[in-house]
Amino acid sequence: MIQFLLNDQPTALEHVAPSMSVLQYLRTVLVQVGTKEGCAAGDCGACTVVVGELTGDPQNPSLQYKAVNACITPMASLHGKQLITIEHLQHQGQLHPVQQAMVDCHGSQCGFCTPGIVMSLLAWWLGVQRGTAAPDRHGIELALSGNLCRCTGYQPIIQAAEQSLRLCQDHFLQHQQEVVQLLQAIQGTPGAESLRTERGFYRPGTASELARLLEAHPQAQLVAGATDLGLEFTQQLHQPSKLIYTGGVKELTQLQDTPDQVIIGAAVTYSSAQSTLHQHFPAFADLFNRLGSLQIRNQGTLGGNVANASPIGDTPPVLLALNATLKLTSIQGSRHVAIADFFTGYRQTVLRTGEFIEAIMIPKLKADETLQVYKISKRFEDDISAVCMAIWMRREHNVVQAVRIGCGGMAAIPKRAKATEQALLGKPFSETSINLAKQALAQDFQPIDDIRASAAYRLAVAGNLLTRAHLELNQQGVSLFAEAGGTSQ
């Protein structure tokens, strides 16, 4: 049984198919059609809904509001959460401040993307009121990063967002405490931690339960944010027999900041990890602003990104450069594997049947160590990398003592540029040695031509990113995005 709040109504559902998305539930089961389907792939944001979750001190939690794509969010993952839909924004016949501002600023034309935009702005507006979202233009751009509008050119929507902040009270804030209590009541339900539906959706509460479930159901698929798996259901029409949801596993959703490393549970979302990462690896955290959209970052997890073993995942190159370690767990116990040894081939890893990633352990930077991260893509936001490069170095008087360069988009797996590293090692990080190192890149990688970029471009740009790294370390104003007053990198 799944228990959640549909807006302010406690709702319990049985017999939900594992692949049933929130969007299908809203449109076909409830026939609440304000939420639109634009792409059914998490790419356009027309179906954006807001999910309220308890956060902070378990004794005295507060509500956190996140925009997510209803089209790829499994219904069963809503357990213990509040689902807010476009139908619930008006209060006593009045438009919500973000709705009124959208009307006043002419923020809609065809109107089809509008409910999704309004929901993204609602999550942002509530975030601003709670102090978790930035009220400036950058904050607005981030909030809208997963919402495509083909009519307006966004200008009036950005203006509407700015204008909506003239009001700072709404019915969500007013009724927050009641919602917290209702959600706490659901979480206190006995047996909640090993919840499952009849149709094969398992929701373990601990790592050992997860290990036991995987042992018992070796063919079951793990699902965290469903930002990739969800597409198999909506695009390939696959029907999974069994899904195990990791979002409720205590160990997998923890984030630990120890003196010498950051330990990120595999089911921690990008959004949840971002602020901790920003303290210790600002370049890594900045990358997140270009990784998927906000909706995807609110759902997607680092563990999923690594376990997927895609050659174009954005976190593996960084984890390679930082020499992260993975904690892999099964019913037999846990083992530690260096990230560099994890990927064995195109979408192949060392994960054994019944084994899962429990956590990612990232050593912190020391004073003489630097991390630089670059992403090249056609579009600035929410695009898959043509090339992603992360460079970790330890230098003494600019002489490279140690270096690791992780690359995505350059090979069938996320891969270190070993020959390039070798060419830089022991030499000053200078134009001369970089020019030599660029030649070594061709030994490391024979990239391919595909729809995102040609092999030649990938290789040439990868080389030039070393130049960019050098210029930036010498504090020469070469950062396009800093110069453009842009958002990151």
Partner 1 sequence: MSKAINGATGQSMQHESAVKHVTGEAVYVDDIPEPRQLLHAAVGHSPVARGKLLSMDLSAVLSAPGVAAVLTLNDIPGHTDIGPVFPGDPILADGEVKFHGQPLFAVAADTLDNARRAALLAQVEIEATAPLLDPEQAIAQNRTVRPVHTMQRGDAAGAIALAPHILEAKLSIGGQEHYYLEGQISMVAPTEDGGMQVWSSTQHPSEVQKLVAEELNLPIGAITVETRRMGGAFGGKETHAAQWACIAALLANKTKRPVKMRLPRAADMMLTGKRHPFENHYRVGFDDDGTLLGADITVIGNCGCSPDLSDAIVDRAMFHADNAYYLPAAKITGHRAYTNLVSLTAFRGFGGPQGMLIIEKAMDDIARALGKDPLEIRKRNLYRGPDRNVTPYHQTVASETLTKVIQELEISSDYWERRQAISDYNAGSPILKKGLALTPVKFGISFTVQHLNQAGALIHVYTDGSIHLNHGGTEMGQGLNTKVAQVVAEEFQVDLQHIHITATRTDKVPNTSPTAASSGADLNGQAAKDAARKIRQRLTEFLIEQRGAVTNSIKFTNNRVQFTDNTGTQSMSFAELTEAAYMARVSLSATGYYRTPKIHYDRSKASGRPFFYYATGAAVSEVLVDTLTGEYRVMRVDILHDVGRSLNPALDKGQVEGGFIQGMGWLTTEELRWDDQGRLMTTGAATYKIPTAADIPPIFNVALMENQPNEEATIYHSKAVGEPPFMLAISVWSALRDAISSVVDYAISPPLDTPATPERVFRAIQAAQQHLATTNNGGTAS
Binding of residue 390 to partner 1 (CB under 8 A): no
Q: CB under 8 A: which stretch of 134-142, 205-213, 362-370, 410-418 binds partner 1? A: 134-142
How near is the Cβ of 421 to partner 1 at its closest, in Å? Answer: 20
Binding of residue 112 to partner 1 (CB under 8 A): yes
Binding of residue 232 to partner 1 (CB under 8 A): no
DSSP state of 351: P
Q: Which of 50, 68, 72, 102 binds partner 1 (CB under 8 A)?
A: 102
**CA separation, residue 373 to residues 279, 293, 436, 468 (Å):** 15, 18, 21, 10
Site for partner 1 in 434-473 (CB under 8 A): 451-454, 457, 460-461, 464-465, 467-468, 471
How near is the Cβ of 10 to partner 1 at its closest, in Å? Answer: 23
Site for partner 1 in 18-37 (CB under 8 A): 31, 33-37
Which residues, other chains included, contact 372 with Cβ-Cβ below 8 Å and sequence gap of 6+?
283, 390, 391, 469, 472, 473
Question: Which residue lies nearer to partner 1 by CB, 367 or 484?
Answer: 484
Which residues, other chains included, contact 104 with Cβ-Cβ below 8 Å and sequence gap of 6+?
160, 163
How near is the Cβ of 164 to partner 1 at its closest, in Å? Answer: 11
128 close to 92: Cβ distance less than 8 angstroms: no
Binding of residue 367 to partner 1 (CB under 8 A): no
CA distance 328 to 308: 14
**CA separation, residue 71 to residues 39, 244, 247 (Å):** 8, 19, 18
Cα–Cα–Cα angle for 477, 452, 381, rounded to 5 degrees: 55
Residues contacting partner 1: total by CB under 8 A: 85
Kindly report the three-state secondary structure assignment for every residue of 394-457: EEECCEEEEEEEEEECCCCCCEECHHHHHHHCCCECCHHHHHHHHHHHHHHCCCCCCCCCCHHH
Q: Coil, strand or helix: which one is 132? A: coil
Question: Which residue lies nearer to partner 1 by CB, 102 or 210?
Answer: 102
Q: Which of 156, 300, 304, 311 binds partner 1 (CB under 8 A)?
A: 156
Binding of residue 53 to partner 1 (CB under 8 A): no
Q: Which of 157, 244, 360, 391 binds partner 1 (CB under 8 A)?
A: 157
Binding of residue 7 to partner 1 (CB under 8 A): no
CA distance 426 to 250: 44
Site for partner 1 in 67-96 (CB under 8 A): 85-87, 89-90, 95
Question: Which residue lies nearer to partner 1 by CB, 136 or 368?
Answer: 136
Site for partner 1 in 249-288 (CB under 8 A): none
Site for partner 1 in 292-321 (CB under 8 A): none
